[in-house]
Structure 1
Amino acid sequence: MDRLKLSRIDEELESSEVAALCFLCCDVVSRKRLERIGDAKQLFLRLEEKGLLDNPVFLSQLLHTIRRADLLNLLETDSRQPEETDASPVLSTYRVMLYRIYEDMTEENLKNMKFLLNGKLGRRQIEASDTALDLFAEMEKAGLLSDTDVNELLATLREFDQQLALTPSVNNNSQPTQPTLSISETIYEGESVHTDAEISRETSSLPNEDYALTHIPRGLCVVINNESFRGLELSNRGGTQEDAKALRKVFYSLGFDVVIHDNLTADDMRHKLKELSRRNYSNEDALVVCVLSHGEQGCVFGTDEKKVSLRELTEPFTSKIAPTLTGKPKLFFIQACQGSGYQGGTVPCPPRPRNEEEVGETFEEDAGPVYGETVPWDADFLLGMATVQECKSFRNTSTGSIYIQELCKQLTRSAESSERDNILDVLTRVNREVGRGVYLSRKQMPEPKYTLTKRLVLKFVR
C-alpha cells in the first residue's frame, strides 16, 4: 500500500484507537508481535509482514470497525477491487463483537466488571487493565474467554448491564446481522456464525402481524433538507422547502416529533446521524429519516458537494449500534437522483407542449455524477427511493418534488381512510401515481426496498 496514505492515517489515529486496532488484529498477528506497539506505523509494519496490506480491504475493515469513516476516504480509490476482495482476510466476528461491547461500556461498567472478575483474574492483571479490551485480553489468557466460549463474559455482563449482554453478533464483513441475539445464543464455528434462532421459529412474526404503535409521540421524524450548495457543480434546489413543509405536516399528524435540519454538509449529515443513533428509543415505536438533496447512484450529497453513501445513512440505526430500535420500523425516504439516465415508458414519450397543469411550472433534476455504491440491509428497514438506480428524479421548483409530494398525499389518504393499509400498499400507490406522470417529457419510477418483518399501519393521532 501507499506509504504516504499509511503515514497520514497514522497521524490521525489516537493512542486509544491504535490499541483498539491491535486488539482487533490479535487473531492474525501474534500477541507477542503486538506488544509495545506505540503507533499505527508499527502496527502497519506487522500487518505488512503477514501480507495483510497487499490491498486496502483488511485495513478498510479495521477503520470501519472503529468508526473512522473519515480515514476510509483515503482508501476509497484503492478499495474498488472486487476481484481481490473475495480472497482477502476478514476480521474475526468474535473479536469485532468484543469491540462493540467495549464501545458501549461506561467507566462504571468497567469498575463493576473488574470487581466481579476479582478472584478469577489476578490482582495485577485487573489493576493493569485500563480498558475493557485489556480485561478481555486477560480473560483470554486465563482461559475464561475464547471464540468458542463466551459464557463467563455473558454471565459477568448480566450482573450489571443486561443491555450489554444483548450485543448482537456480526458477520465476517463487519456488517450488521440479524438483531437481538444474545451472546449465549451465538455459536462460533470457524469463519461461520450460526444462531439458535435458526432452529426454533415458534416466536417468528406472522405475516399479518402489525408493528406496535402505542407511544405518543410515535417516534422521531428527521428531515435533512439541502437547498443551497456551495460549489460549482450542483445547483440550488428550488422547491425543496415545500417538501420539508409537507413532510412536517403529515408526520406530525401521524404522531411523530419532527425535526428539520437545513443545508448540512456531508460531515454534518454523518454527525447528526451519529447523534441520532445514540438516542434512547425505548419509549418510541419508530424512526423516520427523510433526505432531500442531490444524489447519484448509491449516495446523496451534502451542501459541500461531498458524498454520503446510503449505507452511511442506514447503518447507524442497525441493532448492533442502536439496540433500542431493535424490532422497530426504521423508514428512510430519499429524494435524490440515483444516476444521470432517464426513465422511459413502454411507448417512447416524444417532446410535447405542456398541458394546462404544467404551464408556468419548472422541473429540475436532483442529479450528480455517477458512481456505484452498495447498500446494506438489516431487519425492519424500509428505504423509499424517489427513483430507480441510474435514473433521475424530478422536482418542481415551486411546488416541490414529484415523489415527496405524492408520498405525503398517499400517506394522508391512508391515514384518513377506514382501511388499515400497510405502508407497502401506500408506496405501491405512490409508484403508480408517479409513474403515470410525464416530467420534462420523461418518466419517473420510485423504488421501495425493505426488510420489514411486520405490517406497518400509520394513522393520524393529532
Structure 2
Amino acid sequence: MDILSLSHIDEELDSFEVAALCFLCQDVLNRKRLENVREGRELFLRLREKDLLKNSHFLSQLLITIRREDLLSYLETDSRQPEQESNPQTDASPALSPYRTLLYQVSEDVTQENLNKMKFLLSNKLAKGRLDLCTTALDVLAEMERQNHLSEQTLEVLEETLMECDAQLALKIKQYRTGGFLLRETVPHINQRGNNLQIPVRPSVTVTQPSSEDGERLFTDSDPVSPSDSIGYYPMTHNPRGWCLIINNEHFETNELTNRPGTEKDKSAIASVFSRLGFKVKVFDNLTAAKMLKEVEDLGKKNHFDADALVVCVLSHGEIGCVFGVDGKRVPLRSLTFPFTSGECRSLAGKPKLFFIQACQGTGYQRGMSPAVSPEQTEGRGTFESDAGPVQSIATDADFLIGMATVDECKSFRNTKEGSIYIQELCRQLERAGPSGENILTVLTCVNNEVSRGEYLRYKQMPEPKYTLTKNLVLPFI
C-alpha cells in the first residue's frame, strides 16, 4: 500500500478511532508496540514493519469494524486477493479475531453510566491506580486482559460484570461462549482509482445452533445486521426487571358470567415464566371491577425508576372494549393502561409496558379453510370453552404492547384442564426465547403461528399483538 493513501486515512482518524484500531490489532502486534501509539500513521508504520499491509485486506477489515467505510476509497489492492494467496493464514493476510471484534462491539454499546459501574464492580479485581486511568470501555477491557481477568478462554468475569450493568451485552458474551462466531464475507468495492477491491462487509453474525433435548437453539445478536436493529434496544439492566401483575378472575358472582375452569393453569404458567425473566410477580384472584381498577392505579403510583419494564396480565371474561370483574361490572381496557402512560407514571416513561389479555374479542367464531373434526372430549382431558366478549381498545401512547388472545369479533378458547390456548403458547414461546435473545415481536409471531395452526371445536383462533413500542425488546432470563 502506498504512503500517500495511508496519510489520507491518518488525517481522517480521530484519537478514539486510533485507540480502537490499536485495540483490534493486539492479536497481531505486541502490546508494548502499541502502548505509545497516538496517531494513525504510527500504527500503520508498525503494521508495515510486520508486513501486515502487503495488501489492503487487513486494513479494510479494521476500518469497517470501526464503522469508517468512507475511508475505503483510499485503499489500493494488488492483483491477488487474500483468498488467492497460497497460504491465507500467514501474517501477510491476517484476519481480525472474532473474540477481539466481539469485545470492540460490546465496548461501543457501553454507556458512561455503565462504564462507571463496571469500574466500580471491578475495583476489587483490578489495580485501582490503573483503573483510574481508564476513560473508555476499551481501556477497561484492555486492563482486564493485562491483569489476566479476560481472554478468549476466560470471559466469565466480563459476563458477570456486564450482567450487573447491561443484560443485553452480557447475553452477547454468553452466546459467544456457547457457540457464536463472527463471519465476514467479501463484496466488490471500486476505489477512487477504479480498481476492483475485495473488502469484507460489516461484521454479520453466524452461529452454530446447538440443540438441547427440547429442541432449544441459541442465536446471537452481537452486531446489528438488519435495519430494524438500528433503532436500538430497551435496556434490561435491573434485577428485578419490574412488576408483573396478574389478575385472574375464575369464580364469578353473577349468573350472566360462567366460571372459568382452567385459568389456574394460565396463572401458574405466567407466574413461572415471568419470575424466570426477572420480574416480581403479584397475583390477585377474583377481583371485582372496583378492585381491579384500584390495583392497577396503586401499581401506577409506585416508583418504577429501578425497573426496566412492566407486565400486566388479565385473565377474565370481556365485552367490547372492556374486561369484567367477578361482580359482572365492566373495566375499560383503557382504564387498565392509563395509569401507566407517560403523563401518569413518569418513572415508566420510555420503558416497555406489556399487557396480555386472555379474553374473546367477539361472539363470532373464526373458521378455517378445512375445519377439522372436533377434538375428543375424553375424561381427564378437559373441554374447550370460549371467554365470551371482545377486548378491542388499546392505548395509543408510546412503549405499550398489548397481546390479544384473538382478532376482533372472534372468540378465543380455554381448555378446562390445561388452560387457555393463547396463554399456554405464549408462556411456551417466552420459555424458549429466554436464553436466545429473540425480539418480543418474533416471540409473538411464533405464538400466532402455533395457535393459528390448531383446530378448536371445529374452529380456528388467531391471536393479535398490538403495539406502540419504539425499540427492540428482548426479555432474557436472569
Q: 1:393 aligns with which of 412, 423, 427?
A: 412
Partner of 1:354: 375
| 1:426 and 2:414 matched | no
* Structure-1 separation of matches of 2:392 and 2:450: 28
> For residues 219-238 of structure 1, what are the structure 2 equivalents within 5 Å?
219-238=242-261
Q: Give CA-to-partner distance per residue, 1:37-84, whole Å, 9 cap, x none.
A: xxxxxxxxxxxxxxxxxxxxxxxxxxxxxxxxxxxxxxxxxxxxxxxx
Give the Å deviation of 1:376.
Answer: 2.9
- Counting matched residue pairs gives 251
Give the Å deviation of 1:448.
Answer: 0.2
| 1:245 and 2:268 matched | yes
Helix, strand or coil for the counterpart of 1:448?
Answer: strand
Helix, strand or coil for the counterpart of 1:416?
Answer: coil
CA contact (8 A) 1:207 1:455 kept: no
CA contact (8 A) 1:227 1:263 kept: yes
Q: Give CA-to-partner distance per residue, 1:139-165, whole Å, 9 cap, x none.
A: xxxxxxxxxxxxxxxxxxxxxxxxxxx
> For residues 359-438 of structure 1, what are the structure 2 equivalents within 5 Å?
360-368=381-389, 374-417=393-436, 420-438=437-455
AA of the residue aligned to 2:398: A
* Structure-2 separation of matches of 1:284 and 1:333: 19
> For residues 242-321 of structure 1, what are the structure 2 equivalents within 5 Å?
242-321=265-344
Give the Å deviation of 1:361.
Answer: 2.8
Give the Å deviation of 1:338.
Answer: 1.2
Give the Å deviation of 1:355.
Answer: 5.7
AA of the residue aligned to 1:389: D
Q: Give CA-to-partner distance per residue, 1:382-409, whole Å, 9 cap, x none.
A: 0000011111110000010000000000
Helix, strand or coil for the counterpart of 1:403?
Answer: helix
CA contact (8 A) 1:246 1:408 kept: yes
Partner of 1:456: 473
TM-score of the pair, normalised by structure 1: 0.52
AA of the residue aligned to 2:347: T
CA contact (8 A) 1:394 1:401 kept: yes
Give the Å deviation of 1:321.
Answer: 0.2
Structure 1, unaligned runs of 5 or more = 1-204
Give the Å deviation of 1:357.
Answer: 9.5
Helix, strand or coil for the counterpart of 2:238?
Answer: coil
CA contact (8 A) 1:435 1:444 kept: yes
Give the Å deviation of 1:343.
Answer: 1.1
TM-score of the pair, normalised by structure 2: 0.51
Give the Å deviation of 1:375.
Answer: 3.0
Taking a change above 3 Å as real, the CA distance of residues 373 and 456 of structure 1, as seen in their structure-2 partners, is closer
> For residues 108-257 of structure 1, what are the structure 2 equivalents within 5 Å?
207-257=230-280
Percent identity between the aligned chains?
59
CA contact (8 A) 1:207 1:453 kept: no
Helix, strand or coil for the counterpart of 2:434?
Answer: helix
Helix, strand or coil for the counterpart of 2:408?
Answer: coil
Structure 2, unaligned runs of 5 or more = 1-227
* Structure-2 separation of matches of 1:448 and 1:374: 12
Q: Which has the larger radius of gyration?
A: 2
AA of the residue aligned to 1:212: P
CA contact (8 A) 1:297 1:337 kept: no
Give the Å deviation of 1:359.
Answer: 8.0
AA of the residue aligned to 1:361: G
CA contact (8 A) 1:296 1:390 kept: no
Give the Å deviation of 1:377.
Answer: 1.2
CA contact (8 A) 2:374 2:456 kept: no
AA of the residue aligned to 2:435: E
AA of the residue aligned to 1:258: V
CA contact (8 A) 2:380 2:417 kept: no
Give the Å deviation of 1:457.
Answer: 0.6
Partner of 2:103: none
Taking a change above 3 Å as real, the CA distance of residues 324 and 353 of structure 1, as seen in their structure-2 partners, is closer
* Structure-1 separation of matches of 2:262 and 2:236: 32
